[in-house]
Amino acid sequence: MTDTPILHVDMDAFYASVALRERPDLVDEPVVVGGSGRGVVLAANYVARHYGIRSALPMTRVRRLCPHVVVLAPDYATFTSVSASVMETFREVTPVVEAMSLDEAFLDVRGSTRRLGPPRQIAEQLRSTIHDEQGITCSVGVAASVSVAKLASRRAKPDGVVVVPPAEVTSFLHPLDVGELYGVGEKTQALLHRFGLLTVGDVAHTPLRTLQRAVGAHLGRELHHLAWGTDRSELVPRAGDHEPERSMGADETFARDTDDREFVVRELLRLSAKVGGRMRAAGVAGRTITLKVRFADFTTITRSRTMPEATDVTVEIHRTVTRLYDALGLQRARLRLVGVRVEGLVPRDTVHHQLVLGEPERGWPEADRAVDRATRRFGSAAVRPGSLM
C-alpha cells in the first residue's frame, strides 16, 4: 500500500476554472484569464488550448489565433481563497505537504493509508472532494518519487489519476523525450540533444561518468537519478509552510442541496466543533469568524464578524456563524455547501479573557477542553453535542 506514497496534485487550468465558476455560460467557449491590451495569458481553458493558446502568450497573439476568445480579468483574492481551501483539504489527508504554487502540491500519504486506504483511493477521494467543495477539477500523479509523480499528473490531465508502480517506472519514463523530465528546461534539452541523447532511456543507459563529463558532475548525477526514477522521495515543506497558520476552517458539501435551516445550523455546529478542536490542539485562537455559503448554482458568498477578543470556544464560533447565516435571509435558497473559518490566529496564551460580572468560574472553554481530552483518549465519536447524535 505504500510503494507509491507520493502524490502530485495539480489543478486543471486553475485560474480559468475558478473564473468560470461564476460564468457557467462560458464553459464551452474559448476563455483566457489575463490582462487586456498588451497583457499576457495567465491561464487558458481547454477549449482555448485547442487554438494553440497557452499561458504567457501575448494577448495580441491570442486575438490572432482565436478572434472570438473571451478574456476574463483575474480575481486574485478569489484565487488565493480557493487555493487556501484546497491546501487545507490536502492537510486533512496528510500533514506532509510540499506546496509548489497556488495550484499544485506534493503529498506524502504513507502515514494515511491505514486510515484512508491505498494511495490511488486517496487520490480519487481528493479529486472528488475538491470538485464537490470548489467546483474545479484536478489531476493526480501517484508514484514512489517526486519526479515520476509530477510526470504522472501531466499524463493524467485533465481530471484523472495515473499511478506508476515501481515495477513500471522504466517503461513509463524511458520512451519520453528528455525535455519531459521534471526540472529539465529548453537549454538542458538542447544540450542533451546535441550529444545524441534524445530520450530518457538514452540518458538512463549512458554511463554516469560519461554523462557527468558531458554536462557536469552535479547535473549529470541529477539526470541519472531522474532517468531511473530514483530522485527524492522525501518531501520538504517550503519556507512558508513553517509559518504559523493564519486561519483554520472546514467546509461541508451536502449530499443533496438543501434549504432546511435546522439541518444547516446543525452542520455549522459540526464544523464549528471541528475548527475549534483544531485550534485548541494548535494552541491558537482567532478574532474573525467567517461563514461561507455556496448555492446550488456554485455562486459563493462569505460573511465575517470580528469579535471583541480572540476565541477558540466551539459555542462562540457556532453562535456567530449562525447569526451570520440568519442575517442572510436564505429561507428558500438551496445550499450546496457551508463552511466555517476563523482568521487572525494568535497564540492562545496571549489572549486575556475579560471577566464579566456574574459569569461562572467554569464554562464552555473548560467543557471544550474536557471533550478534547475524551476524544484524544477514546476517539472522535466519544463525546459530541446532543443535536449531532
Please tell me whether residues 223 and 253 are part of one structural domain: no
Please tell me whether residues 62 and 183 are part of one structural domain: no
10 labelled as ligand-binding?
Answer: yes
Spatial neighbors of 12 by CB under 8 A, at least 6 apart, are 46, 136, 137, 138, 139, 157, 158, 159
Given the residues 88, 98, 104, 267, select the one marked as catalytic: 104
pLDDT at position 298, please? 78
Could you tell me the CATH number of the domain that includes residue 206?
1.10.150.20
Please tell me whether residues 256 and 326 are part of one structural domain: yes
Domain, as residue range, for 273: 244-388
Q: How far apart are CA 302 and CA 329, in angstroms?
A: 14
Please tell me whether residues 224 and 249 are part of one structural domain: no
Please tell me whether residues 280 and 365 are part of one structural domain: yes
Cβ atoms of residues 304 and 269 within 8 Å: no
Q: Which of 222, 273, 245, 300 is closest to 388 using CA atoms?
A: 273
Cβ atoms of residues 17 and 56 within 8 Å: no
SS3 129: helix
Please tell me whether residues 274 and 197 are part of one structural domain: no
Please tell me whether residues 312 and 210 are part of one structural domain: no
108 labelled as ligand-binding?
Answer: no
Q: Give one DSSP letter per residue of 233-299, joined into a string.
A: -S----GGGGSPPSEEEEEEEEEEEE--HHHHHHHHHHHHHHHHHHHHHHTEEEEEEEEEEEETTS-
Please tell me whether residues 364 and 295 are part of one structural domain: yes
Cβ atoms of residues 260 and 335 within 8 Å: no
Domain tally, the chain: 3
**Residue 150 maps to a domain:** no
Q: How far apart are CA 321 and CA 304, in angstroms?
A: 8
**Residue 96 maps to a domain:** no
**Residue 362 maps to a domain:** yes
| Strand ranges (E), the chain | 6-11, 31-34, 41-44, 70-72, 97-101, 104-108, 138-143, 161-163, 247-258, 284-295, 300-311, 335-343, 346-347
**Residue 81 maps to a domain:** no
Cβ atoms of residues 161 and 139 within 8 Å: yes
Instruction: Spell out the per-residue pLDDT of the chain, length 389, in tens.
Output: 679 999 999 999 999 999 998 788 998 999 999 876 667 888 899 999 999 998 888 888 999 999 999 999 888 878 888 888 898 889 889 989 999 888 999 999 998 998 899 999 999 999 999 998 888 999 999 999 999 999 999 999 999 999 999 999 999 999 999 999 988 888 899 999 999 999 999 999 999 999 999 889 999 999 999 999 999 888 876 544 444 557 788 888 888 899 999 999 999 999 999 898 888 888 889 989 999 998 888 788 889 898 888 999 999 999 999 999 999 988 788 998 999 999 888 888 776 554 444 444 456 666 767 766 665 555 555 556 666 55
Q: How far apart are CA 290 and CA 188, in angstroms?
A: 48
Known catalytic residue at 245: no
SS3 content of the chain, % helix, strand, coil (to 5): 45, 20, 30
Residue labelled with grid coordinates 434549504: 259
Residue labelled with grid coordinates 518519487: 145
**Residue 267 maps to a domain:** yes
Could you tell me the CATH number of the domain that includes residue 370?
3.30.1490.100
Q: How far apart are CA 69 and CA 50, in angstroms?
A: 12
Please tell me whether residues 248 and 376 are part of one structural domain: yes
Task: Give the CA dihedral 316, 318, 324, 330, nearest 10 degrees.
Answer: -160
**Residue 3 maps to a domain:** no
Cβ atoms of residues 96 and 108 within 8 Å: yes
Burial 351-378 (b: 16+ CB within 10 A, else e): eeeeeeeeeeeeeebeebeebeeebeee
Please tell me whether residues 334 and 224 are part of one structural domain: no
Please tell me whether residues 298 and 359 are part of one structural domain: yes
Phi-psi region of 251 (alpha: psi -120 to 50; beta: other; left: phi over 0): beta
Could you tell me the CATH number of the domain that includes residue 42?
3.40.1170.60
Of 164, 194, 228, which closes a domain?
Answer: 228
Element (H, E) at 27: none
Of 31, 61, 76, which closes a domain?
Answer: 76
SS3 143: strand
Q: Which of 324, 325, 294, 330 is closest to 306 using CA atoms?
A: 324
Please tell me whether residues 250 and 384 are part of one structural domain: yes
Q: Which of 50, 56, 53, 10 is closest to 182 using CA atoms?
A: 10
